[in-house]
Amino acid sequence: VSSTTDPLTHVFTYSIVETDTVPTELVSLIETDLNPILADSGATLYAVWVPVQIPASAPFAGLAKTQLAFMAAWPDQDDPVEIFESTVRALDGVLAVTSQVLVPIYLAEGLAVPTGAGFYVHREEIYQPRDVDEVVRLSTEAWETWESTFGTRVTGLFRHSGNPSNLSLIHISEPTR
């Protein structure tokens, strides 16, 4: 697999977009306006997440009614944030964009995110760099039980780029039932 097709050699922008409209209305603009610009830059739209109703008992907060989240995968890009954010800010209805650069550790489906019904959980945890390999090993082992017990599947595990003192891991999981 070449470095341009191996998803683990990509960097990802993970962005929260504040809108002045219903975020689902931006999805068609993303497809018509943003995708060609990303393609010209060599990037791939990885996923778009919009707010959904979550159970009141959920131990986490979801996106606000005026937010959406999305990720793009960039091959051979040192810092794609400015390209990405300026492109997104140009879309009608976008008020603000906040992005992070993530490096993949594990991707269940390469550059394709499964599109199961329900809600995706994005969980962030911070570890010391010396502990990351052990955390990844333990997480991988735990997923075998966790996925079947809770009816979810881990679709990705990422670390933040460029944080020398701590390493944040972001787990993204989807419903399977």
| Tens digits of residue pLDDT in 55-68 | 788 777 788 899 99
34 in Cβ contact with 87 (< 8 Å): yes
- Note the pTM of the prediction, 2 decimals: 0.81
CA–CA separation, 132 and 146 (whole Å)? 20
Residue matched to tokens 């919009």: 50
Q: Which of 90-104, 109-123, 127-141 has the lowest mean pLDDT?
A: 109-123
